[in-house]
Amino acid sequence: MKTKLTLLILFAGLLFSSCSKYPPSSIRLTEDLVIYTKYDTSTSFSKFHTFYISDTIKWIDSHDSGYYTDSKAQAVLNQITQNMTKRGYQRVAANNNPDLAFMVVAVKNVNATVYYPGWYWGYPGYYPPWYWGGSGYYYPYYPAYITTYTTGTLMIDMADLTLLTVDSKIWIRWNVYIRALMTGDHTISQIQQCIDQAFNQTKGFSAN
């Protein structure tokens, strides 16, 4: 009898140890697009009226950086512009004192740790100093748990130029991270939908 019980317990133990907690590999959540946004809750979006957005997207990877200027980049930038216009903001040129400015960066398969809060770390040239006139960019708040980039990520930062300080710190009022761009077979249409979602999931984002 003891032998039977021992065997039963042994079987149970083997079964326990063979029961996986996590989903099977067929459910590949890591290949799905994720849209993460965060805004400065102390900011009223209605105090801004104009914005500037470049016609290029900065890209960076582990070794190099450059600019996207092709039709896909324009589609992404146009989608941001359309969403801003729909919310009552007016696009203006960089030299026309915009209230807000967008910085759009694509990170390609980089494993990098970002240290928040404080000064944005660096990828040299992440922000175009020819535009900002300085090299320091300050986040008044910080994303709580975006600490590494392990997949392709599109990052959109919205800077508040009305508070540009003498030491060239720029206050970021809104962040967007669209992740997993390069892990699956994602179309530009899907990326545009993600941009729409980023705006839609930010409460109170309107000039009116």
Partner 1 sequence: MKKIFVLMAFVILTTGSIQAQQKTSVGFAPGSYYTFSWNTTFTLGDFNDWVSNASPAGFDIGGRYLLDKGLTVGFNLGWQRVSQNYGYQTYYDPDGSAITADNYRFTWMVPFQGVIAYHFLPDKLVSPYLGLGVGGDYMEHHLLVQEIDAYTTRWDFSLTPEVGALIKFGNFSNWGALVAFNYKWTTNKIELYKGDTSKDLSMLNLKVGICLIVR
In this structure, are residues 189 and 28 in contact, taking their beta carbons and an 8 Å threshold?
Answer: no
1 belongs to the binding site for partner 1 (CB under 8 A): yes
Binders of partner 1 in range 13-42 (CB under 8 A): 14-16, 18-19, 21-23, 27, 29-30, 32-41
Return the residue of 67, 68, 116, 141 that touches partner 1, per CB under 8 A: 141
Q: Which is nearer to partner 1, 50 or 151 (CB)?
A: 151
170 CB burial (10 A radius; 0-12, 13-18, 19+): buried
Judged by CB under 8 A, which stretch of 12-20, 44-52, 64-72, 120-128 contacts partner 1? 12-20
Peptide bond into 129 cis (omega under 30): no
Return the residue of 84, 117, 119, 150 that touches partner 1, per CB under 8 A: 150
How far the first Cα of the chain sits from its last, in Å, is 79
Q: Which is nearer to partner 1, 34 or 92 (CB)?
A: 34
Return the residue of 61, 68, 143, 190 that touches partner 1, per CB under 8 A: 143
Min dist CB 94 to partner 1, Å, is 27
Binders of partner 1 in range 42-101 (CB under 8 A): none
196 belongs to the binding site for partner 1 (CB under 8 A): no
In this structure, are residues 126 and 60 in contact, taking their beta carbons and an 8 Å threshold?
Answer: yes
Three-state DSSP state, 88: coil
Three-state DSSP state, 204: coil
130 belongs to the binding site for partner 1 (CB under 8 A): no
Separation between Cα atoms, residue 139 and residue 42, nearest integer Å: 13
197 belongs to the binding site for partner 1 (CB under 8 A): yes
In this structure, are residues 35 and 176 in contact, taking their beta carbons and an 8 Å threshold?
Answer: yes
Helix, strand, coil share of the chain (percent; to 5): 30, 25, 45
Min dist CB 15 to partner 1, Å, is 6
Judged by CB under 8 A, which stretch of 80-88, 109-117, 142-150, 157-165 contacts partner 1? 142-150
The token duo for 115 is 């240290």
Helices 71-86, 188-200: crossing angle, 10 deg rounding = 20
Using CB under 8 A, list all residues that contact partner 1: 1, 4-5, 7-9, 11-12, 14-16, 18-19, 21-23, 27, 29-30, 32-41, 141, 143-145, 150, 179-180, 197, 201-203
